[in-house]
Chain A
């Protein structure tokens, strides 16, 4: 589903080049559940941002569903993200002035897909995640685990091909974190492709494939 060919990314501090990714070659197929693991500063977040089309590589080629995405302008990238990728973040990033169901519906505002009855769909997703009673609550009235579930429902509302989660358990206690990971496993069992970026070794057990990033390169790539 995605193919990265010799992806390099550098930041420039004045004249000095600071290489973050030093040539990543990676292929991820539809239906995989990948844990992208690395310590802070390894380049895993930069890699995730490139995969999520939030950032652009300095060198190399990126194909999403056999389509090169390198030459896209801001507008088409935004549409592409909307259509194909669902994001989940460590800090949930729910909008404080919207309630749970309204937060779930955010991607719909920008969507060109013809999602039938988005409100009903959002309600079903929230109910499936055990939040049927919470759909009209504001984020401030929800626990961390509940907020992250709302965020996952938001990632799913527009039927994306890929779920991209950045440290989804980082702000949660380990029990709640495990519940969230189980949720990702359930989604993967339903056929979703899921990539989870983390520094936490304990999460390795939840994936079907583990990719370890060290110092801007892939140091380990194993399936279990």
Chain B
């Protein structure tokens, strides 16, 4: 048998399959859309989880694996987004003395302040921070410069603005050296931070303004005793350091056996948090997509099953003209897999199309990859095989004489 003959047969077979699908288009469209929806949700799951993981890893990378954050207020209060001032400057001094601790950043933020530049207004938070803030966040500048120790000591009214704030107030103009109003305090913009993009579901990380801590406490918050956040890095084991910090703070705050009035997070906690998010996403969307695929599989199987009766003569004539039982089985199975494969491709295309929409809508970063395509096509072929198997078996068992007699 020549190769060209074989190729000819395969081409003929493919053409026939396409014609069959076109002839039974209602069935095909139903099955196709079901599978496409199922595959779409699978694609969204995978891209979202990948995106969330990537984001988590990025955060981990920027914070560094050795950094620890200490917030005022208990875990429960933080969950409720309650703001409780319990961390003091004295606490910071005590923590600084713990073995292995270096690069301590102190910060206090004031929420909901209005910024004005010419006729433009924008409301966001001001973070008062020590000068090592930018360094410990590994945050590069888009333009200008950052403030230093001198500015801290002189209580300079200067600020570094996040990219979002820059866009809102300056709309792309040069901002460095311009004076803006922060509440009632005129301050000079000395730098603009590079854009980082929103974290998964969280607030926009670029929507912030950073000023020297001394300036904020003296001129905006009037808060000389408490700090909002203390960030440290450690050369020792992170867990051991956390235990030490806990002990110091409990002693300073006079806590015995009760609930802590502070919260400590390491960058590992962030990774864990993200994995919990992806876990629940996986569970929720995973269930949805499995249900969608199972339902469309059933629809496909049933519609397919129904058409077998209609196609009895078709099967009979093919059997008479040389198709074996196996041949019939394979061609029906191929037809079913072909439909779901097509559905899979449509699902993938839809997910590519909707990726941008989802990102905007839910602020979830998505990471499309080859892995998604492989997974989606694998799942769609599996659906096709499973739902096509029973009808195909039934078709193959039809005897030609029975089929021809009608």
Contacts and interface: CB of A to CB of B under 8 A. Distances in A.
A168 B196 CA distance: 78
Nearest to B326: A75
Contacts of B2: 114
Interface string B1-34: 1100100110011011001101100000000000
Contacts of A114: 1-2, 5
A77 B327 CA distance: 13
A134 B20 CA distance: 21
Interface string A35-78: 00000000000000100101100000000000000000011011
A79 B15 CA distance: 22
Interface string A75-87: 1011101110001
Interface size bracket, B side: 20 to 34
Given A49-B401, A81-B321, A93 B313 contact: yes
Chain B at the A interface: SS class: helix
A55 B399 CA distance: 9
A107 B321 contact: yes
A93 B317 contact: yes
B321 A82 contact: yes
A91 interface: yes
Contact of B324 (A74, A89, A107): A74
A96 B23 contact: yes
Given A54-B400, A109-B13, A102 B19 contact: yes
Contact of B316 (A93, A102, A105): A93
Contact of A55 (B12, B401, B406): B401
Given A98-B16, A108-B12, A79 B23 contact: no
Contacts of B325: 74-75, 78
Given A78-B324, A112-B1, 13 more contacts: A52-B320, A54-B399, A74-B326, A75-B324, A75-B326, A79-B322, A81-B322, A96-B23, A98-B16, A109-B13, A110-B323, A111-B322, A118-B8
Interface of A: 49, 52, 54-55, 74-75, 77-79, 81-83, 87, 89, 91, 93, 95-98, 102, 105-112, 114, 118, 154
26 contacts: A54-B401, A55-B401, A75-B324, A75-B325, A75-B326, A77-B324, A78-B322, A78-B325, A78-B327, A81-B322, A91-B406, A93-B317, A93-B404, A97-B19, A97-B20, A98-B19, A102-B15, A102-B16, A105-B12, A106-B317, A108-B8, A109-B9, A109-B12, A110-B321, A111-B322, A118-B8
